[in-house]
Amino acid sequence: MDNITVGDYTIPCVFVQKPWIRNTYLRFEDEKLVVVSRNQGNAMRVLDKHHDWIMKHYSQIKSSVRMFSTSGMLFNGTRMPVRFTQHYGRPRVEISGDSILVLSRSNDAAERALERWLSRQTILATESVACEKACAIGKAKPSTRTRRFRKWGVCRSNNTITFNTYVCMLPAELRDYIISHEVAHLAQMNHSRRFWEVVGRLCPEYRTLRKRLKNYDSRRRPVFADPAA
Ligand SMILES: [Zn+2]
């Protein structure tokens, strides 16, 4: 089983045989469909039965933008290759031409340096904008932090907004929507109609931007095309 055809799609497919299991399981590993089953017959039957599920998930995967990949990572909405250079001083990250250069001792240290750099870039990209927007709706300046989590941001009643560390990688208009959304929570700690009215005042295009943002996949994947030893 190499490829299967579902609707207009030809989907790479891997069959894993486990004769001792009763049920058949389907899952996607990136664009590859993995079928775990006791035999090929069962696998084929389950594939036939779940065409709709397979189509839906595959089309989602195809339209998603991977923010991290070995062909580069997004920064400010542009994909840039990431290069590693061995360096024994303090690790640092630089933008060099159209690529991102990470100078550090080892690959592990490079990953950590990249995380710290992204966190700093996200603070730079969000902090002052969040303060301006808060001011525009008559609220006190929030303090901003970053964290790695599944959400793009979270706003607490102690006037703190925590942004996803990777917000700086997104195009400017999507960042603007995320900041507007969190700042609007300073006025409305819920997702009521009044909340969305505040979001609309801060970011008039929020409906389309919110939809676009759903395509962005921030899952951390390897970025170094030339991994260090
Ligand atoms: Zn919210």
**Among the three residues 38, 63, 88, which one is the final residue of a domain in this structure?**
63
- 35 vs 6: which has the higher pLDDT: 35
Q: Do 43 and 79 fall within a single domain?
A: no
**Among the three residues 43, 63, 83, which one is the final residue of a domain in this structure?**
63
CA distance 160 to 129: 14
CA of 222 to the centre of ligand 1 (A): 30
Residue 224 belongs to a domain: no
**Among the three residues 16, 35, 63, which one is the final residue of a domain in this structure?**
63
Strands 216-217 and 160-164: unpaired
In the prediction, which pLDDT does 196 show?
98
Q: pLDDT tens-digit profile of 169-178?
A: 999 999 999 9
Nearest residue to 172 (alpha-carbon basis) of 128, 126, 119, 204: 126
CA of 153 to the centre of ligand 1 (A): 8
Q: pLDDT tens-digit profile of 123-159?
A: 999 999 999 999 999 999 999 999 999 999 999 999 9
CA of 181 to the centre of ligand 1 (A): 6
Q: Do 35 and 83 fall within a single domain?
A: no
Residue 225 belongs to a domain: no
CA of 173 to the centre of ligand 1 (A): 17
In the prediction, which pLDDT does 7 show?
82
Residue 77 belongs to a domain: yes
- Work out the pLDDT band at 9, boundaries 50, 70, 90: confident
CA of 23 to the centre of ligand 1 (A): 39
Quick check: 192 pLDDT over 90?
yes
Q: Do 121 and 168 fall within a single domain?
A: yes
Residue 15: partners with Cβ closer than 8 Å, 6 or more residues away: 1, 35, 37, 40, 43
DSSP state at residue 43: H
CA of 179 to the centre of ligand 1 (A): 10
CA of 19 to the centre of ligand 1 (A): 46
Q: Average pLDDT of 113-125? A: 97
Quick check: 2 pLDDT over 90?
no
Q: Do 144 and 38 fall within a single domain?
A: no
CA distance 15 to 38: 10
Q: Do 40 and 59 fall within a single domain?
A: yes
Residue 16 belongs to a domain: yes
Q: Do 87 and 167 fall within a single domain?
A: yes
Q: Average pLDDT of 107-135? A: 96
Give the helix, strand, coil percentages of the chain, each rounded to 5. Answer: 40, 30, 30
Residue 103 belongs to a domain: yes
CA of 202 to the centre of ligand 1 (A): 14
The whole domain housing 156 covers 69-217
Q: Do 170 and 76 fall within a single domain?
A: yes
Distance, first Cα to last Cα, the chain: 36
Q: Do 120 and 52 fall within a single domain?
A: no
CA of 33 to the centre of ligand 1 (A): 33
CA of 83 to the centre of ligand 1 (A): 36
Q: What are the backbone dihedrals phi and psi of residue 104, each rounded to the nearest 5 degrees, phi first?
A: -165, 175
CA of 199 to the centre of ligand 1 (A): 10
Q: Do 95 and 190 fall within a single domain?
A: yes
Q: Do 98 and 23 fall within a single domain?
A: no
Domains held by the chain: number? 2
The CATH number covering residue 158 comes to: 3.30.2010.10
Residue 223 belongs to a domain: no
* Listed range (60-74, 139-153, 156-170, 176-190) with the worst mean pLDDT: 60-74
CA of 86 to the centre of ligand 1 (A): 41
CA of 191 to the centre of ligand 1 (A): 6
Quick check: 229 pLDDT over 80?
no
Q: Do 52 and 92 fall within a single domain?
A: no
Q: Note the pTM of the prediction, 2 decimals.
A: 0.83
CA distance 116 to 127: 16
CA of 117 to the centre of ligand 1 (A): 26
CA of 66 to the centre of ligand 1 (A): 23
Strands 143-147 and 160-164: parallel
Q: Average pLDDT of 55-64? A: 90
Q: Do 90 and 38 fall within a single domain?
A: no
Residue 90 belongs to a domain: yes
